[in-house]
């Protein structure tokens, strides 16, 4: 196997550091995630860390975008397997729900809560979240049966609220049956066209 070029090695180290930052956010929370812990988790030298990220703030700004990219990639990968049909909208909803769970989402949650009292973190977080939201909206609109722009926006925004709420609630109480019932409730009321097509057995 060919050895990596210096550029590839640097990029690999950078990715290791960002993955380590996500893992530390999940394990230790925002306050407990130090550059020392990230460095140790990534298995790199202090010099390597400082070469990529000169400060903790630089590391977190990069981690914010890294997390957003991971969550978006997860939804896009799932959406690509969704064929047009009566259950397309439900399957995309399931993909979005999956993206709002697991380590990347928990790391994002740590950053959101900390951004409430950290203006610099909030300033870095907002553009990344807006970019992620725009991309998710495009995926959602691609399968949505609602042609009214206002209704489509309300459907999408309410879905985000429901999914985020379920994810936060699961930290203290993981009731999967109730979560499924809530998602079904949303689909039956906010995606009536998809439900009607499914019940009629048409695509």
Helices (H) and strands (E) in the chain, counts: 10, 0
Q: How many residues does the chain have?
A: 203
Distance CA 66, CA 80 (A): 21
Query: Would you state the CATH architecture of domain 6-200?
Result: Orthogonal Bundle (1.10)
pTM of the model: 0.78
The mean-pLDDT minimum among 69-83, 116-130, 185-199 falls in 185-199
Cβ contacts of 82 within 8 Å, gap of 6 or more: 88, 91, 92, 95, 143
Cβ contacts of 167 within 8 Å, gap of 6 or more: 100, 101, 105, 109
pLDDT of 195 reads 47
pLDDT at residue 203 above 50?
no
1-56 pLDDT, tens digit per residue, is 457 788 888 999 999 999 999 999 999 999 999 999 999 999 999 999 999 999 88
**Ramachandran region, residue 146 (left: φ > 0; alpha: ψ -120 to 50; beta: rest):** beta
113-147 pLDDT, tens digit per residue, is 899 999 988 998 898 888 888 888 888 887 776 66
The structural domains of the chain, with segments of one domain joined by +, span 6-200
pLDDT of 145 reads 65
């Amino acid at each position: 196997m060919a050895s990596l070029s210096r550029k590839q090695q640097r990029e690999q180290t950078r990715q290791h550091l960002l993955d380590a930052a996500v893992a530390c956010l999940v394990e230790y929370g925002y306050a407990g995630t130090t550059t020392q812990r990230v460095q140790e988790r990534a298995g790199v030298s202090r010099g390597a860390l400082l070469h990529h990220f000169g400060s903790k703030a630089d590391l977190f700004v990069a981690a914010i975008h890294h997390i957003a990219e991971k969550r978006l990639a997860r939804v896009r990968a799932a959406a690509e397997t969704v064929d047009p049909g009566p259950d397309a909208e439900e399957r995309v909803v399931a993909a979005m729900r999956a993206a709002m769970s697991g380590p990347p989402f928990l790391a994002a949650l740590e950053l959101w809560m900390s951004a409430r009292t950290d203006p610099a973190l909030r300033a870095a977080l907002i553009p990344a979240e807006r970019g992620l939201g725009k991309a998710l909206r495009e995926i959602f609109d691609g399968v949505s049966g609602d042609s009214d722009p206002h209704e489509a926006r309300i459907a999408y925004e309410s879905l985000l609220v429901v999914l985020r709420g379920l994810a936060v609630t699961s930290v203290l109480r993981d009731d999967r049956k109730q979560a499924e019932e809530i998602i079904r409730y949303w689909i039956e009321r906010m995606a009536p066209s998809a439900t009607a097509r499914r019940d009629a057995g048409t695509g």
